Chain A
Amino acid sequence: MSYIPTLPAKDFTLYGETFSSRFLLGTALYASPQLMRDSIIQSRAEIVTLGLRRQNPADRSGDAIWQFIQESGCRLLPNTAGCKSVKEAVTLAEMSREIFNTDWIKLEVVGDDYNLQPDPFGLVEASDILIKKGFKVLPYCTDDLILCRRLVEVGCQVLMPWGAPIGTGQGLLNRYNLLTLRERIKDVPMIIDAGLGAPSQATEAMEMGFDGILLNTAVAKAHNPPLMAEAFADAIDAGRKAYKAGLMQKRQTASPSTPTIGQPFWHQK
């Protein structure tokens, strides 16, 4: 087998659309919109998420900032952050479809106000409703296998399990669950969404075979957000390359199975 440099391959497919970047970036929490846009550029992201729950979308009061985000040229992925009930999430999804002219929605149904943990029951119900209304739903979910199966059953073609609760920077808290998900649901693209704090954690997720990374706080709250965006982009690329290249098996050499040649016998125990 010979080495053919192929990266960055345009092999990341979500709802029939292909992308070369596997990094999706959030647009909240930056010290200024300018820093946000510089970060988007450095991240090489092709998809950015944005929330509109608190911006009085019915009156289009967020137009100034939405237009500025739109000028980045990225595909917009509106989210339903802040919605605590199925009805709220569905209404907001419909509103954002109208405003941004897209049927893609990052679906969030908040189950707990403090750690913003997804409400799995509401999530399945809202996904079902929205998919029947023609939406392409990207659900922010926990790492529970059965929940993820239910979401696929109602028609989600992408899953976005958390690494850890939003904004915590804890990394992949439950590697066992995440590995189970990856092993058991092989044919649905999975994006690790939320909870990552360091680029090494993104690399780790990509090495495990996840298809993409979505994050916000780790970049927005860095001292230098554009630089951190670039660091994550590189880390995600590295993890993807490593996954495709195939990681070696870890070896145990603490206790030798055979005598070690070339060492004086009085050092051998």
Chain B
Amino acid sequence: MTNPFPNNIAIAGAGLLGRLLAWQLLQSGCNVTLFEAGSFTPSAPQTDRAAAFTAAGMIAPLSEAVVSDEGVYRMGQFALARWPQWLSTLSVGVDTLFSQHGSLVIAHAQDLSELEQFERELRFVIPQCKTYQRVNQHQIQELEPDLNPHFVQGLFLAEEGHINNRELLAIIGEEIILRGVQLREFTSVEVNANKIISSATEEQFDLVIDCRGFGAKKQHPELRGVRGETLHVETKEIRLQRPVRLMHPRYQLYIVPKPNHRFIIGATQIESEDRSPMTLQSSLELSSALYTLSPAFAEARIIEMDTNLRPAYMDNLPHVDIQDGLITANGLFRHGYLLAPAIVENILAHIFEKEEKVFSELLNR
């Protein structure tokens, strides 16, 4: 009896979606060939690595719902449940990969109307939301003792979490190599149904999955890149338990604690496909926001300034297109780690013809 499901599968793009899909498909016993235009190693110096390496890795369904919609919230809640399940199946168990201690949204006393606006939008998008509460100066200090004590009002979003994304990408990378993925780095490809064309060869597959992010722009001109810049700093003088979001009339930035006393602050959002280094203006905005969170950041060392392009469609919502021999998933915009579990499970449900195609109404439009 022949296997009714595709067995020989090609994935284009070794960013977050590509790695997760390769991992899940290998676990299901498929043969997977993974094509990557750049280097497979996240730390390798290269100009166009996937947006997933630049992201801060927040799993923040409520905060992101405020800038998108209720569908993103539901997929985000799915992610909060799915990430720990997935990570528990890794052969190298790392318990620091995912943490869920909520997130804190604060504003300076002069900008409290920004906080009000945030809460209004939150209540509008998720009217029944019970997982957040207003916090006062005292409660903010209890949650994050190292924050500047002048923050008098905030919101605590209890269910939000974050992922140590670079570590995760590296670990899943090792995992899929261990499970026998066929890896083709430094290979730009053209993607077709059942067929991958590179400068060297043309190969046939039972199924091709295109998750190249902004790298697919040439083949999908309707995609656009949205520039984001992040600052990585290191200091032992301050500890944060959870991501903190600072509301400001000009910009809304978050700071996410990472292992080894590091912090990522980001990200700018500029309608531009320019991935050249960070501008001085952006570095001023990011670093002054950081400084006002706590003056102790003044002596933090700047480890890295990163720039990347978020792949987005004009509605800023993700799309998964299912065709014979070709699945295209793209447009995760600023919600990569939040949306990836829903998208991966949706694709797996299509491949293995499961009855319930999760989030089909949101993704397969």
Contacts and interface: CB of A to CB of B under 8 A. Distances in A.
Contact of B315 (A32, A55, A62, A63): A32
A241 B337 CA distance: 52
B270 to A, nearest CB: 5
B86 interface: no
A33 B271 CA distance: 10
A59 B273 CA distance: 9
B88 interface: no
B224 A65 contact: yes
B314 interface: yes
A32 B272 contact: no
Contact of B272 (A33, A56, A68, A167): A56
Interface residues on A, range: 20 to 34
Main secondary structure of the interface of A (DSSP, over half): loop
B363 interface: no
Contact of B274 (A34, A35, A61, A221): A61
Contacts of B109: none
Interface residues on B, range: 20 to 34
A56 B271 CA distance: 10
A223 B317 CA distance: 17
B225 interface: yes
A223 B124 contact: yes
A54 B281 contact: yes
Contact of B314 (A33, A61, A223): A33
A62 B272 contact: yes
A95 to B, nearest CB: 14
B268 to A, nearest CB: 8
Interface string A61-80: 11111001000000000000
Contacts of A33: 224, 271, 314-316
Nearest to B249: A167
A62 B271 contact: yes
B121 interface: yes
Nearest to B316: A32
Contacts of B279: 54
Contacts of A56: 272, 274, 276
A31 interface: yes
Given A65-B224, A223-B124, A55 B272 contact: yes
18 contacts: A31-B67, A32-B312, A32-B314, A33-B224, A33-B315, A35-B315, A54-B270, A54-B272, A54-B281, A59-B274, A59-B276, A62-B271, A64-B225, A64-B271, A65-B224, A68-B314, A167-B249, A223-B121
Q: Which 3 A-B pairs have CB atoms at the shortest separation, nearest pair first? A: A61-B274, A32-B316, A64-B224
Interface of A: 31-35, 37, 54-56, 59, 61-65, 68, 114, 167, 221, 223
